[in-house]
RNA sequence: GGGGGGAUGCCCGAGCGGUUAAAGGGGGCGGACUGUAAAUCCGCUGGCUUAGCCUACGUUGGUUCAAAUCCAACUCCCCCCA
């Protein structure tokens, strides 16, 4: 039997989402008695979020599934200031237009995983720019700044770490903390929001928000964090071959997204199945007990389930099938990522180097050259021998495409138009 | 305000007049082994029209046959004193 009464905490607990909570009992009681409104904040620094944020999105989804109301807080205002935590020199400030654009892109993922609307448990998206823009400096300091004690702020991990390492912590960053705290207060006032969730790195900020709400409004709100996600070998989650693992299809195809999950380390399979799929727990227990090569079946299920959540069932199954055909039969599947090329270019003879660059498999001709030398570049599954060679109509397969591969895992089809 | 130190490739970091596209490590990519895993071993890791050329060591100028290396100014960062 679970130690929790509420469906929400029960699920969060058994699926391994929880790292810390400011008050388990209180949250449990609230969640079992009525609707809890909870939020998580997201930065708008790119046009898409990547898998690193997926665990947070899943938490909002679980919140909604268990009968509560998720708020998605977009950091439209805080992103404008630019998070100064990067240690190298100030990163480029994002323009308002760029932020708005990013916001639109990021929104797409949430629409897939949450149900938005006006109902009592429908998700709502808010933007902290709406209230942060209005702030008057002096007024803000008088009303809220006085509740922050530097002494206490210095004791937060995020701050302490920087100071111990003798790295600068700018005043701006200090304010960043305060603005984030203010978000919670604002959401509590306007949306009756009583819960903030986030990654464990947000603990300090979350606690600040709770404290501020208590001091200013006497509100009693709660924070809940997840463990920061790393793979079993300690690598930060979310980076792979081509860079970040984006959640939006235009930045990373569903085929490649599926591949990302398919390549999960053995030791992570069970944990990821619990966090990133919605399979029943006993099924997961069975899957993670598989050993050796059989565990690969569990990885396929993980990949398909995880891809279904973000890209839909159809895309996931196509990706799974494309992978099956490509890897298990060594054949060509029409669902592999495809890049179109000019028919005329092919007629004239397309240089292999150019072909690999156009396909996106190689970054430059030089890169392509090196890959060929290393024996990792293949055309229609045959290693390229001569970097000066070119592709022509005769290289088209029966399906009318040319299959380019880099290594064993990355394939792209060239299709003349 | 005064004094000192620094800025090098994706990241960390050596080099301190020519033999430097720049040691070493990390990361990444490829190969071998496997199970599209991990670990291990090997190779590659600025661009191009590649026996050559071009661009690069914070920015801009200068000294020199020759500068990442010397000089000057500027920008930014760090440390110590006030």
- A338-349 average pLDDT score: 88
Which residue ranges have CB below 7 A from strand B? A 87-89, 166, 168, 233, 235, 239-241, 259, 262-266, 292-293, 295-296, 299-300, 323-324, 326-328, 353, 357, 363-367, 369-371, 374-376, 406-410
- Looking across all nucleic acid strands, the nucleotide with the smallest C1' to CA distance from residue A300 is B36
Spacing of A95 CA from B61 C1' in Å:
34
Spacing of A88 CA from B17 C1' in Å:
31
- A309-338 average pLDDT score: 88
Q: How confident is the model at residue A376 (pLDDT cuts 50, 70, 90)?
A: confident
| A215 or A172, greater pLDDT | A215
- A148-167 average pLDDT score: 68
- Share above pLDDT 90 across residues of chain A, in percent, rounded to a whole number: 46
Which pLDDT score is estimated for A293? 86
- A304-314 average pLDDT score: 95
Which pLDDT score is estimated for A85? 43
What average pLDDT does chain A have? 86
Does the structure show a pLDDT above 90 at A19?
A: no
Asked whether the CA dihedral A138, A144, A149, A150 is positive or negative, the reply is negative
Which range has the worst mean pLDDT, A26-30, A63-67, A89-93, A364-368? A89-93
Which pLDDT score is estimated for A83? 52
Which pLDDT score is estimated for A306? 95
Does the structure show a pLDDT above 60 at A322?
A: yes
Measured CA to CA in angstroms, residue A82 lies from A45, A90, A154, A231, A345 at distances of 9, 8, 21, 28, 44
Query: Quick one: which H or E segment has residue A112?
Result: helix A96-113
Does the structure show a pLDDT above 70 at A264?
A: yes
- Looking across all nucleic acid strands, the nucleotide with the smallest C1' to CA distance from residue A351 is B49
Spacing of A141 CA from B29 C1' in Å:
51
Asked whether the CA dihedral A15, A21, A24, A30 is positive or negative, the reply is negative
- A130-134 average pLDDT score: 90
Protein residue closest to B44, using CA and C1': A370
- Looking across all nucleic acid strands, the nucleotide with the smallest C1' to CA distance from residue A408 is B36
Spacing of A185 CA from B41 C1' in Å:
56
End-to-end CA distance of chain A: 61
User: CA triplet A296, A302, A307: central angle to 5 degrees?
Assistant: 130
Spacing of A168 CA from B68 C1' in Å:
28
Q: How confident is the model at residue A239 (pLDDT cuts 50, 70, 90)?
A: low
Protein residue closest to B46, using CA and C1': A366
Question: In DSSP terms, which residues pair with A405 in a beta bridge?
Answer: A378, A411
- Looking across all nucleic acid strands, the nucleotide with the smallest C1' to CA distance from residue A236 is B27
Spacing of A169 CA from B81 C1' in Å:
22
- Looking across all nucleic acid strands, the nucleotide with the smallest C1' to CA distance from residue A406 is B30
CB A377 within 8 A of CB A371: yes
- A348-357 average pLDDT score: 90
CB A209 within 8 A of CB A177: no
| A229 or A306, greater pLDDT | A306
Going by their DSSP bridges, the two strands A37-42 and A69-74 should be labelled as: parallel
pLDDT digits 0-9 by tens, A200-230: 778 888 998 999 999 999 999 999 998 776 6
Spacing of A113 CA from B2 C1' in Å:
60
Spacing of A404 CA from B51 C1' in Å:
30
DSSP class of residue A328 equals I
- A245-260 average pLDDT score: 87
Question: In DSSP terms, which residues pair with A236 in a beta bridge?
Answer: A230
Q: What's the whole-model pTM score?
A: 0.86
Q: How confident is the model at residue A90 (pLDDT cuts 50, 70, 90)?
A: very low
Which pLDDT score is estimated for A91? 41
Does the structure show a pLDDT above 80 at A161?
A: no
Which pLDDT score is estimated for A169? 65
Does the structure show a pLDDT above 80 at A132?
A: yes
- Looking across all nucleic acid strands, the nucleotide with the smallest C1' to CA distance from residue A265 is B37
Does the structure show a pLDDT above 80 at A344?
A: yes
Of the ranges A196-205, A225-234, A292-301, the best mean pLDDT one: A292-301
């Amino acid at each position: 039997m679970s130690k929790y009464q509420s469906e929400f905490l029960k699920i969060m607990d058994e699926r391994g989402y929880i790292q810390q909570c400011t008050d388990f009992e209180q949250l449990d009681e609230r969640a079992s008695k009525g609707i809890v409104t909870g939020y998580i904040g997201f930065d708008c620094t790119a046009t898409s979020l990547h898998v690193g944020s997926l665990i947070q999105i899943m938490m909002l989804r679980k919140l909604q599934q268990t009968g509560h109301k998720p708020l998605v807080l977009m950091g439209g205002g805080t992103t404008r200031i630019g998070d100064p935590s990067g240690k190298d020199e100030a990163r480029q400030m994002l323009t308002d237009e760029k932020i708005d654009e990013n916001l639109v892109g990021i929104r797409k993922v949430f629409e897939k995983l949450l149900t938005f609307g006006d109902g009592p448990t429908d998700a709502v998206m808010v933007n902290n720019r709406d209230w942060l823009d209005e702030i008057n400096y002096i007024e803000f300091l008088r009303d809220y700044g006085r509740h922050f004690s530097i002494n206490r702020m210095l004791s937060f991990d995020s701050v302490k770490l920087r100071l111990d390492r003798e790295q600068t912590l700018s005043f701006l960053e200090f304010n960043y903390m305060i603005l984030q705290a203010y978000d919670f207060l604002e959401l509590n006032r306007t949306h009756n929001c009583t819960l903030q969730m986030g990654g464990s790195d947000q603990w300090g900020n979350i606690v600040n928000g709770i404290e501020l709400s208590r001091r200013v409004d006497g509100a009693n709100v709660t924070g809940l964090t997840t463990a920061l996600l790393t793979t079993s070998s300690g690598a930060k989650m979310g980076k792979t071959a081509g860079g970040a693992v984006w959640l939006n299809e235009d930045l990373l195809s569903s085929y490649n997204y599926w591949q990302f999950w398919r390549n999960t380390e053995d030791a992570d399979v069970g944990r990821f199945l619990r966090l990133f799929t919605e399979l029943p727990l006993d099924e997961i227990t069975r899957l993670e007990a598989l050993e050796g090569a059989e565990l690969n079946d569990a990885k396929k299920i993980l990949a398909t389930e995880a891809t279904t959540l973000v890209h839909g069932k159809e895309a996931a199954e196509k990706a799974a099938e494309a992978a099956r055909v490509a890897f298990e039969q060594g054949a060509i599947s029409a669902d592999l990522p495809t890049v179109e090329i000019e028919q005329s270019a092919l007629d004239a003879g397309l240089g292999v180097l150019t072909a690999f660059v156009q396909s996106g498999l190689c970054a430059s001709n030089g890169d392509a050259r090196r890959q060929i030398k290393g024996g990792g570049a293949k055309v229609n599954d045959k290693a390229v021998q001569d970097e000066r060679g070119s592709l022509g109509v005769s290289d088209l397969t029966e399906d009318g495409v040319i299959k380019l591969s880099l290594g064993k895992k990355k394939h792209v089809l060239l299709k003349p138009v």
